[in-house]
Amino acid sequence: KPDVVADIRKLPFKDNSFNTILACEIIEHIPFKDVPKALSELRRVAKKNVVISAPYSCVSLSGLFKLKIPFLGRLFNLSVYFPYDWLNPRKFKFNSEHYWEMGRKGYSKKKILTLFNKYFKLVDCYPELIQPEHYFFILEKRE
């Protein structure tokens, strides 16, 4: 049983309640017009950091390569991502679960970053190595 069940647009916590907030695969489940309210709430209850993961609709080609050199270990990662809307230019439609997905027509990565930057300082963003359809944003609360 969860300790708390709440709407991300109206969190039942006091201001600055948590040092770091992790919101994984949540914001795509609300209409995009409501995402600013969710970001505002996350900023309100965070003391310092917020980590958000969101789906990234993309076609990816990635690989992890290991080159063995005696006494020196080398690990290389090569990843190439193509937003899904390059292959399917139709606007994303609500699928009974996701209202929107980054990489789909109308929801570019640039649009998402611009929105996040209105509420937080972007520290880093990257796709998960093994499953690049999960994109992480490391955010810091602005004072």
Calpha distance 29→49 (Å, rounded): 22
Question: 133 vs 6, 40, 98, CA distance in Å?
Answer: 26, 25, 14
Q: What is the pLDDT along the chain (143 residues), one digit of tens a residue?
A: 989 999 999 999 999 999 999 999 999 999 999 999 999 999 999 999 999 999 988 655 555 555 555 555 555 555 555 555 455 555 656 667 889 988 888 888 999 999 999 999 999 999 887 777 789 999 999 87
Tell me how far the alpha carbon of residue 84 is from its chain's centroid: 16
pTM of this structure: 0.77
Residue ranges of domains in the chain: 18-58+88-141
d(CA 54, CA 26): 7
Residues 6+ apart with CB under 8 A from 72: none
Does CATH place domain 18-58+88-141 in 3.40.50.150? yes
